[in-house]
Amino acid sequence: MLMAESAHAGRRAAAAVEQAVSCPTPVSAPGGQRPAAAGSALRHRNFALLWSGQTASIAGNGAFTVAMPLEVLRITNSSLDLALVVSARTVPSVILLLIGGTFVDRLSRRTVMLVSDIVCGISVSLLALLVTSGRAHLWEFFLLSVIFGSASAFFRPASTAIVRDILPADLLVSASSLTSLSESMALYLLGPLTGGILVATIGAGWAFGIDGASFAVSAACLAAMRGITGVKAARSRLLADVMDGLRFCYSQHWLWYSMLGIGAANLVCFVPLGILQPLLVRNVFHAGAIALGVMYAAAGGGGALASLAAARWGTPRHQVARMWSAWAVSGLCGAAIGLSPWLWMAVSFAGLSWGLATYGNILWLPLLQQKTPAELLGRVSSVDWMLSFALSPLGAIASGAAAAVIGVRLTLVAGGALAAAAGGILLVSGKTGAWSSSATTATGPAPRRCARSCGKSTGPTWTGTRRR
């Protein structure tokens, strides 16, 4: 997925490729019917609880997103140190993702998410106390990043897989739109604005404290969920289960090449934005916390508009082509941020870039969920996350070092141009079957027989997201 958590870089025509790598028919509008209303997924109690808890947690993360880089820069004033702190979160996540996905397919997905929330909430709350008392040091930010990264290796695939356990297939696009809408509004709009105001007025410690409280809200919502049904994979050797997920992804060419392309775009453009935007605001435009919050909020506004548009339009005929077109243009907008002579223009392009990336992510997630066998969904999702961010530490460190040598603007321009080029190549090469519209069934190697089936079909189905 295009990132994250910035999220999440861009997602993901020869006749032979079209036959082997074609997109599924739109699940939100079978037989040409109207797509499901965006809010219809909220009528299901478990999804409403999941969505509400995640919205609260994401808002807290938005405040954290503003407070953390500014506090690190206050302590060291080093772009390289900031890049290292960001990388300390990504490295353990990438290392543990395949193991995390395997456990997600074996255990209760709700329990995995609940434990992750509790660990992260306690950790960031302790950091809030240290920052508020004036005793925080750089190593403590490294440690928090490692804890967050390790927990996310289990939380991310679980959060992708659990949606299919609690909703029927025709509501997955609705759920994806709602999730992207809450992410855009909370993580990139309300959260950053709140975080910027708190840092500028009463200090970064309060922003970290709000993030800790938001994890508690999310954990409470998860604990209140009831009657979740799903499919669990039969347990065997850990390595064999991991290889099952990898083999399936590799057998689906459109999926495999999309994941690789997303990873490349995240490496050069979308992950570096987390390093370069604070540097641009602080060192180029000579602005502060509120300006950085406004830039993140603009991204949230763009993402919110994209979420509403996706809910209205439904699933397009050439789904993969539409995804990669959006992600390629998003890269160009990232380059335009670096070329902007005024802060307001950079803010505008940040909003446009994230809006396009969000639209691609919304299309990607239901596609992955509908076409992946239920008992493999945790592992396939973990591969998706891993390939998206495996090189993120290198991207973060390289962007910080490049900004120190060639400047923030040129680093932004080069990264955005390369991401757009990656999207363009995948669109015209046929590797992702971008222009195929015929429905196909996943043709990967058969997974092991499920240990238990609870009211859900065990046939092939898919979902995913490339958060930046």
Tell me: pLDDT of 215 over 50: yes
Tell me: pLDDT of 206 over 70: yes
What per-residue confidence (pLDDT) applies to 436?
52
Tens digit of each residue's pLDDT (9 = 90 or more) over 75-92? 888 878 887 887 788 788
Tell me: pLDDT of 466 over 80: no
What per-residue confidence (pLDDT) applies to 27?
33
Tens digit of each residue's pLDDT (9 = 90 or more) over 17-31? 233 333 333 333 333
Q: 312-316, 331-335, 368-372: which range is least confident on average?
A: 312-316
Instruction: Find residue 233's DSSP bridge partners.
Output: 450
Overall average pLDDT of the 131-155 stretch: 88
What per-residue confidence (pLDDT) applies to 43?
87
Band of residue 309 on the pLDDT scale cut at 50, 70, 90 = confident
The overall average pLDDT reported for the chain is 78
Band of residue 335 on the pLDDT scale cut at 50, 70, 90 = very high
Report for 7-11, 247-251, 441-445: range of highest mean pLDDT: 247-251
Q: Which structural domains are found in the chain, ordered by start?
A: 15-227+236-453 (1.20.1250.20)
Tell me: pLDDT of 378 over 50: yes
Band of residue 135 on the pLDDT scale cut at 50, 70, 90 = confident
Q: 243-257, 263-277, 345-359, 385-399: which range is least confident on average?
A: 385-399
Q: 48-62, 150-164, 194-208, 433-447: which range is least confident on average?
A: 433-447
Tens digit of each residue's pLDDT (9 = 90 or more) over 336-377? 999 999 999 999 999 999 889 888 888 888 888 878 887 788
Tell me: pLDDT of 428 over 90: no
Tens digit of each residue's pLDDT (9 = 90 or more) over 170-205? 788 778 888 888 877 777 677 877 888 888 888 888
Tell me: pLDDT of 429 over 80: no
Tens digit of each residue's pLDDT (9 = 90 or more) over 115-127? 999 999 999 999 8
What per-residue confidence (pLDDT) applies to 427?
79
Tell me: pLDDT of 66 over 90: no
Band of residue 412 on the pLDDT scale cut at 50, 70, 90 = very high
The pTM for the full model equals: 0.66
